[in-house]
A and B are shown apart, each in its own frame.
Chain A
């Protein structure tokens, strides 16, 4: 407390002293100025006064009848004026000779003519001077005026007074005052400083005595506090008397109150874990006998049940004779420390196990590329055992290019203390193969932050890399193929719903990018619905391939004919996962076809005329009735032949019509079961002749949406084939079943079947499988083509399943008529 007040008081004192000094000085200076001002004023007054008096005297003298020479009269004048004037009056002749004066010094007749005031008065009319008086003491002020009689200078009148009293007084007072002031100020300051020093000294004296005591206590407190904080206790054991002294904290560490008992070796041992007691005694004996320092862990069991681990350190201490009499030391609570160490070791062990057993290669290299550390996984990566590589410069196993690149980059990596991830390099495996290894690394820094090496992990990605390479090549090949091909390649992912189309979509049709909504809009209205239904039907089925032809609008608005083919990949349930296909621009082909169709159409019509002629003539001949039997037979054969020709022409015309794309087939509600039965009735003769068994199974299938006439042709065609290509006594099964929103018609026979090779081409124009040709030379090969056209025009699909020698199954689907817009 005193320490805090002292600087305050000191400051106050100094400020006070300074202020007093300054104010006094200022006062002195001010008074000096005031005084001198006053003095000058007084001086001026005095001069004026004296001049007046001198002038008065001069004029009185001038008025005297005897003038300047009348000494007694002048004396009288002076005498009469002197009391009122309060000044010494003197009259002198023009030469300065004193004539009369008020002072007693009239006895001194001297020339005053050289006096300054006289000289000046003679010159200027008035003269002023101030000087020490030779006759009287002290400074006097003299004012002289000339006496003029008749304008002629006859003498001078002079008045004199002693100089102003004030100045005189001041000339002493002022310096005196200043010295006094200065002295006072100095005294004040000195006094203050002295007082401060005295104070300080006295406090200081008090401090020393108290402080010593306080410090001692404080010291003791701090030690105890320190011990408590550090969890350490100290002990001092006199082993000769077996009396020990423990620090307070040591007691506390042992879980008892300080001073709870008198410590000794035995009491100490009571607290030690039984298994550790022997070691304690041994250490104590060694310390006593050999001076070996004690440093050991012991378990201490506290009364509260807790066991702590104490690290004891101690040493023997000699007495003044150099004989060891005491052991002195500390016990540090290292319980937490030991537990932490144990945990750390366990973690380290765990980590080590991990590092050793992981498949990742864990490595440490120095800056030269020497392998300082590696786990066993290196064997998988490089094929060498651990001991073959440790200490070696493993970077030599790198591919030369990668090695060179690394060496070039290394200085910068070291400078920048760079780390990296995902860097792939090629290493030479022991077997001579190149392995792609991807690594991550971080720098190892010394305490100055300089890179001493690197550590990290790595893994073999050869397979992945090769796979990626293969994929890339494959992708490249595909892209090239896509570009080379003149078709648009498309890839429909059902999972995402996205359809990828190759760049040809732009090249062929002038579309920059086709969204799927736009796709439908680009189909020609006439084909749009049919294609959509055909595709939907295909997706719902379990078939693999899909085909459609339609007109597709180009970017410039014109239509192109497109042959769209696709293959679907399905999951186990038959649901489509992905579909890949091509769009081929068949506009030219279609154009050619159309011209062909037109030609066929034209020719067919032309053919019909002579055909009709033949038919009718033969009809007439047959009905004439008078043909010899042989001729009648020939005529009948001719009629049959002609009929076949007629069928051929009809088919050609139908095909031409359908292929021209200008067809409008009827969309009626057609009962396939009724048509089937009707067709079977028509063919009954042949069926019976061949002893086939025909079964029709139609379990309530809905009517189909199609052209009645054409469906009749289709069914006739398919049934006829089944009948024709099945050996006598065959089995023909026709089934009409609903399939979601479609109806499926199928005919199965157990005839000769269709060779695999032919199945793909079955529905082509003019195609007949070899075995069919060999069976019956006549078929035109038109039938299935026409059938396919009709079905596809109706928005359905037709296909064939067959094994050679095991019969065939032909089936088609059609949309049902159960919708709006269908004519019932």
Chain B
């Protein structure tokens, strides 16, 4: 990779946030974190833009799905690939996210950090698979 890839992580659970951040940092990613949807949007709109956004769905104040909608509505952020990291297995949630333009949808409980890193890598540097 040429430049260090920038990852924006929007996750309200602190343990998940810390673990994810640590894992990605270890693997050489630059990680910015947001505690809720509102903060996530604010950070996303600011340059330098992230190369990928990891977005939780179930968050207080502004739910993840609204964040996604907003991101995709704004030209500056619309092109940034968004990976949804949810704990909902509900098919509706998955479909809705994908239709709104999410590049991928994963259930955190079934996803290892290694697998996550792999997906992030693929999305940034290749045409990522869902």
Chain A residues within 8 Å of B, Cβ to Cβ = 601, 605, 608-613, 615-617, 619-620, 623, 646, 649-650, 653-654, 657, 664
Contact = CB atoms under 8 A, between A and B. Distances in A.
Across chains A and B, which 5 residue pairs bring their CB atoms closest together, nearest first?
A613-B15, A616-B19, A608-B87, A612-B108, A608-B109
Contact of B89 (A616, A623, A657): A657
B15 A646 contact: no
B112 A617 contact: no
A619 B109 contact: no
Contacts of B110: 646, 650
Interface string B73-117: 000000000000001111100000000000000011111111000
A609 B87 contact: yes
Interface in B108-130: 108-114
A605 B113 contact: no
Nearest to A601: B90
A650 B108 CA distance: 12
B67 to A, nearest CB: 18
A616 B23 contact: yes
28 contacts: A601-B90, A605-B58, A605-B88, A608-B87, A609-B13, A609-B108, A610-B15, A611-B109, A612-B16, A612-B87, A613-B16, A616-B15, A616-B16, A616-B19, A616-B20, A616-B23, A616-B112, A617-B15, A619-B112, A619-B114, A620-B19, A623-B26, A623-B113, A646-B109, A646-B110, A649-B109, A654-B89, A664-B91
A432 B71 CA distance: 100
B55 to A, nearest CB: 15
A613 B113 contact: no
Main secondary structure of the interface of A (DSSP, over half): helix
A158 B23 CA distance: 200
Contacts of B109: 608, 611-612, 615, 646, 649-650
B70 interface: no
A716 to B, nearest CB: 14
B108 A608 contact: yes
Q: Which of B26, B87, B108 has the most chain A CB atoms inside 10 A of its CB?
A: B87
A10 to B, nearest CB: 131
B15 A620 contact: no
B107 A620 contact: no
A653 B110 CA distance: 13
B108 A620 contact: no
Contacts of B113: 616, 619-620, 623
Contacts of B112: 615-616, 619
Contacts of B91: 664
A657 B58 CA distance: 19
Contact of A619 (B15, B23, B88): B23
A663 to B, nearest CB: 8
B109 to A, nearest CB: 4
Main secondary structure of the interface of B (DSSP, over half): helix
Interface size class of B (residues with CB under 8 A): 20 to 34
B16 A609 contact: yes
Given A609-B13, A623-B114, 7 more contacts: A608-B108, A615-B109, A617-B15, A617-B19, A620-B23, A646-B109, A650-B109
Nearest to A619: B113
Contacts of A664: 91
Contacts of A608: 87, 107-109
A614 to B, nearest CB: 8
Interface in B1-52: 13, 15-16, 19-20, 22-23, 26
A723 B87 CA distance: 31
Nearest to A645: B109
Contacts of A609: 13, 16, 87, 108
Contacts of B19: 613, 616-617, 619-620
A536 B51 CA distance: 56
Q: Which of B26, B90, B109 has the most chain A CB atoms inside 10 A of its CB?
A: B109
A611 to B, nearest CB: 5
Contact of B87 (A605, A616, A623, A657): A605
A657 B93 CA distance: 13
A605 B107 CA distance: 10
Given A609-B13, A612-B16, A616-B16, A650 B89 contact: yes
A654 B109 CA distance: 14
A444 B15 CA distance: 111
A613 B26 CA distance: 17
A271 B13 CA distance: 140
Nearest to A654: B89
Contacts of A613: 13, 15-16, 19
Interface string B46-70: 0000000000001000000000000
Contacts of A654: 89
Q: Which of A612, A617, A650, A664 has the most chain B CB atoms inside 10 A of its CB?
A: A612
Contacts of A610: 15
B62 to A, nearest CB: 18
A620 B20 CA distance: 9
Q: Which of B20, B88, B89, B111 has the most chain A CB atoms inside 10 A of its CB?
A: B89
B38 to A, nearest CB: 20
A610 B90 CA distance: 19
Q: Which of A608, A650, A664 has the most chain B CB atoms inside 10 A of its CB?
A: A608
Contacts of B58: 605
A609 B58 CA distance: 10
Contacts of B20: 616
Contacts of B23: 616, 619-620
A601 B87 CA distance: 11
Contacts of B90: 601, 657
B74 to A, nearest CB: 29
A656 to B, nearest CB: 9
A210 B74 CA distance: 156
B22 to A, nearest CB: 6
Contacts of A617: 15, 19
A708 to B, nearest CB: 14
Contacts of B87: 605, 608-609, 612
Contacts of B89: 605, 650, 653-654, 657
Nearest to A649: B109
Contacts of A620: 19, 22-23, 113
A153 B112 CA distance: 195
Nearest to A621: B19
A605 to B, nearest CB: 5
Contacts of B16: 609, 612-613, 616
B16 to A, nearest CB: 5
B31 to A, nearest CB: 14
A738 to B, nearest CB: 31
A442 to B, nearest CB: 84
Contacts of A646: 109-110
Q: Which of A601, A609, A649, A657 has the most chain B CB atoms inside 10 A of its CB?
A: A609
A160 to B, nearest CB: 168
Contacts of A657: 89-90
Contacts of B15: 610, 613, 616-617
Contacts of A616: 15-16, 19-20, 23, 112-113
A767 to B, nearest CB: 24
Nearest to A609: B13
Nearest to B107: A608
A664 B19 CA distance: 34
A619 B18 CA distance: 13
Contacts of A611: 109
